[in-house]
Structure 1
Amino acid sequence: MVAFHASALDGVARNPALPTPLLLRLLAFDGGGDGPPRYAPQRAGLPESAVAVILAHPNPGARVDFAMSKLAEPAQRARLVDDPSPKVRAALAYGPEWGDPRASVALPDDVCARLLDDPDPSVRTALLDSPHLAPSFVASLATHHDPAARQVAARAWEKLAPDERLALLTDPDPEVRRVAALGQCRRDAHLTAELLRDPQFAAEALRRGLLHRADAERHVAERTHLAALAENPSLPADLVERLAVDPDEGVRLAVSLRPELDETRRMAIDFTVGDLDRGDGVHWVREGLADPEVLRRAATSAHPLLRRSAARSPHLPPDLLHLLARVEDPVVENRLGIHHPDTPEEVLMRVYARLGGTFSAWMAETHPRFPREGLAARYADHPDGNYRRLAVRDPAATPTLIERLSHDPTVWTRQAAVGDPRLPLHRLREALHVPELASSAGANPALPEDEMAAVLNRAGVPA
């Protein structure tokens, strides 16, 4: 197949205006053994007739693509739970590789339960590794017959009932008992002491467990896992003060994040943050992303890492959202753009301007509050093609401007313009035969049905 015919076909496969008869024709295509273009099974709002074709498609690749779609409804994907291919069931069990953090793609609990009892071990492993499991399902794993499932439940310790915790602490499997002990050790100094003797769990036990003073003093004297120890909630106040002036900068930083410190004491500690982004954030803020008091303490702090952790919450009230939007911290802005549905337009524009081409910039540009009005006047003649591309978003952009931008020197701008339904039809038809534009042209919702059918014909899709 000629390359631009394949590109045009990929575009048509994701075209939101693709009529159902052409969609069904495309889904039945075997793609030379590779299945239909993967955008076809991954479309949003698939009609029932299309879902039925995918579920029965002879090529497992088409079913895998549907199983991992971030756009399909979880209940639709769940219908693959009895698929004959373990690869398809494993893909369903794991779910989308990535998606919008603002959306949920979790499968129903009863479907997850069936996948966890699948006869193929790869399916069970994929499910337990999935980042998309609902909290209710994770809690239900506490009594599952598979020790690996009980370990997953034990890692969600605070969501478990007392009788479930007790059962995991006395579990016949030693690994389950150790993970359960790690959850319970914040309330039990004896369990903490036991875990400190296990190299695999010692650092985490020091970070979260209820400590005997002697154990804390020993680790301070031996200078082992001090940064973890500095986070421990039960660390005696005098040892906190000693670690606050430790020569190790990482230890001082850990002390500065302790939740009990007031702002004066916190900011008196000599620490450096710079561009550091602690991934999933500071643990006590992360655990309280829906707690108004925790969010207020973190968002109003002068400590950059606390503000960055608070910015991960979609539950920020308007005053804290606008406070964080004004702190002029790129990491905070990135987090707001990814996680908060009401991020101000000016923050989204700064993220886009600073990080064009990255995931954070893509999340900002696809955010529902990303600006549209006035972009053509501001950016149509901008020297940077990434900004000229934004002019296409403006509802006031004229067909003449869109056509001009479809000839822009920057390929990303040309592609954006070619995908816009205001593009004059003669230019849209022309773009279908330009290799770097064919995919965008195929996806243009203004493409006439006969042109879509012609794309399928040229690509060899049987009628």
Structure 2
Amino acid sequence: MTHVHGHVLCGLAANTALPSELVDRLIAFAGPDVDEDADFADDLAGRADLSDAQALALYTRVPETGVPLAREGRLTTADVDPAADPDAALALLDEGRGDPEWGRVLAADPDSWNRQRLAEYGGLPPDAVEMLAADPDVQVVAELALWTATPEVVTRLAEHPHAEVRRSVAWNEATPPAVLAALIDGEQLPPARRCLVCDREETDFGLPPDATCDGTHGSAVHDIRHAALQNRATPTEAVVAFADHPSKRLRWALVDRPDLPPEVSRRLAVDPVPGIRAYLAGNPLIDDALMRALADDEDQDVRCHLAHNPNVPLDVLVRLAATTKLRADLPPRIATASPAEVEELARSTESAVRMLLALRRDLPAGIRDALATDPDAKVLKTIAPHPGLSEAQLRDMVDRHGVRVLAKVATNPDASGTLLEDLTRHQPPVKKVFREVARHRNATPRALLACLADDEARSIAAGHPALPPQAVVELLADEDRQVVKAAAGNPSLPRAVMLDLVP
């Protein structure tokens, strides 16, 4: 089988228009004898129209499809033997459709990776939990400590002799607050006897280069504290003293906690580490006075995080937009602006503010239309994808700003087929336009044929259902394998051709 043929089969296996009888033929053809480059079994497993009988036939023929089939709801507990296929059994458990009783079998699996994955699931039989808690592999026990929701189990594991297990307990939000406080002060628990640094000569855990242990497990104790400080269940009184700790990593662990007292927030707001101040600026629980102070921070990242704080005062955000290069995503405070605030933002003399408002996709028609005539090209690029704009408005943007707005106009969901054709013919051309047109639901056959001339848009256009069937067939012989796969997966591929291609 050639590589190209293999990609044809992969595309066909995912083709939504492939008749059911041809799906059966592909299932019968799938299996270990198929060329690795033509492994289309996963494509078959992902089909939305796969019947239960077809799914079971595919699983029987290609057991490796058990995981995707389980995740897609195509297999049941009756179809899977946890001892023979732990991967599929774990996938079913992960989806909430497995049998908790499998825990006894999987807890004894010789592969420790499978036991680690099992430890993530709740609802296991108590004896399976006990097996995992006593596992000889510390990583299995650590996973159980991280995920178990049983306070009795996690409390017991807080006294585990290995520090890695205690670190997982410190991350677990089901850990009782008193236990988390004890993990931080380290005085109410028996000292750990082992840590990953101690184990380094025996096992490579990919430790950081500065990890050390002189017998007191210093790096491990630091990691346990770091985890507990970030745990929302840790009592406030147990964490506040760390606002002045010499370790910037521990101070950083505090900044997005929702329970920071104002005086602790103020101390962190003048921390010498910009990243700490930045993450604090994004904490929605800090007060207005502190936000206004942070708006004057000399660090760009601090101001950017503050701009995306959902509770930042609107006037502060307006000031930040004029002085700070913000991320391209919609700030939460703009997303929740009231109708009156939206009108105020639309009248702003700062184009950066109008551009932020244009990121909303639920604007009133009048404000949307006003922004569509904005003199600033950056505002137009932002509003151009907004649904509801007329063809005349979109063409006016192109006439006024040409290549600067072309690609964004092409992303508008209401752009007509005629407009899309015209965008592909624009001179000078804009490469990104072809990619956007190739994936647009309104793209016409003529527009898609134009997209085939662009190397990056070719594979996208090859799978578009509006591409003429003859062009789709011709692309099956393309030199680019991704183009071939896309063409074979195109629902416009003639049925007769499918019949010829399926073994």
1:345-384 alignment to 2 at 5 Å?
372-374=413-415, 377=419, 380=424, 381=426, 383-384=429-430
Question: Matches of 2:251 and 2:283 in 1, distance apart?
Answer: 23
Change in 2 beyond 3 A, CA 1:402/1:177:
closer
TM-aligned CA deviation for residue 442 of structure 1: 0.5
Question: Which residue matches 1:359?
Answer: none
Question: Which residue matches 1:425?
Answer: 469
Question: Which residue matches 2:391?
Answer: none
Question: Which residue matches 1:144?
Answer: 130
Question: Which residue matches 1:450?
Answer: 496
TM-aligned CA deviation for residue 454 of structure 1: 1.4
1:106-145 alignment to 2 at 5 Å?
106-108=94-96, 110-111=98-99, 113-114=101-102, 117-118=105-106, 121-122=109-110, 125-126=113-114, 128-129=116-117, 133=120, 136-137=122-123, 143-145=129-131
Contact 1:169 1:177 (8 Å CA) reproduced: yes
SS in 2 for 1:28: helix
Change in 2 beyond 3 A, CA 1:139/1:92:
same
Question: Matches of 2:331 and 2:118 in 1, distance apart?
Answer: 25
TM-aligned CA deviation for residue 29 of structure 1: 0.8
Deviations 1:319-369 (A, max 9, x none): 99xx9xx9965497799xxxxxxx9669xx98xx9xxxxxxxxxxxxxxxx
Question: Matches of 2:275 and 2:28 in 1, distance apart?
Answer: 55
Letter in 1 for 2:224: A
Match among 144, 167, 172 for residue 153 of structure 1: 144
Change in 2 beyond 3 A, CA 1:55/1:137:
same
Question: Which residue matches 1:19?
Answer: 19
Larger Rg: 2
Letter in 1 for 2:469: L
SS in 2 for 1:205: helix
Question: Matches of 1:48 and 1:334 in 2, distance apart?
Answer: 45
**Alignment root-mean-square deviation, CA:** 5.3
Question: Matches of 1:5 and 1:11 in 2, distance apart?
Answer: 10
Question: Matches of 1:129 and 1:344 in 2, distance apart?
Answer: 41
Question: Matches of 1:120 and 1:306 in 2, distance apart?
Answer: 52
Letter in 2 for 1:76: L
Question: Which residue matches 2:29?
Answer: 29
Contact 1:405 1:414 (8 Å CA) reproduced: yes
Contact 1:81 1:111 (8 Å CA) reproduced: no
SS in 2 for 1:201: helix
Question: Matches of 2:476 and 2:163 in 1, distance apart?
Answer: 58
Contact 1:112 1:127 (8 Å CA) reproduced: no
Contact 1:154 1:168 (8 Å CA) reproduced: yes
Match among 162, 183, 186 for residue 180 of structure 2: 186
Change in 2 beyond 3 A, CA 1:388/1:93:
same
Question: Matches of 2:167 and 2:444 in 1, distance apart?
Answer: 61
TM-aligned CA deviation for residue 23 of structure 1: 0.6
SS in 2 for 1:402: helix
Structure with greater contact order relative to length (CA < 8 Å, sep ≥ 6): 1
Question: Which residue matches 2:210?
Answer: none
Match among 44, 47, 52 for residue 51 of structure 2: 47
Identity of aligned residues (%): 15
Contact 1:67 1:95 (8 Å CA) reproduced: yes
Question: Matches of 1:305 and 1:206 in 2, distance apart?
Answer: 25
Question: Which residue matches 1:63?
Answer: 63
Unaligned runs of 5+ in 2: 194-215, 296-300, 333-358, 363-380, 386-410
- How high is the TM-score relative to the length of structure 2? 0.56
Contact 1:345 1:371 (8 Å CA) reproduced: no
Unaligned runs of 5+ in 1: 97-104, 211-226, 286-293, 336-342, 354-369
Question: Which residue matches 1:205?
Answer: 224
- How high is the TM-score relative to the length of structure 1? 0.60
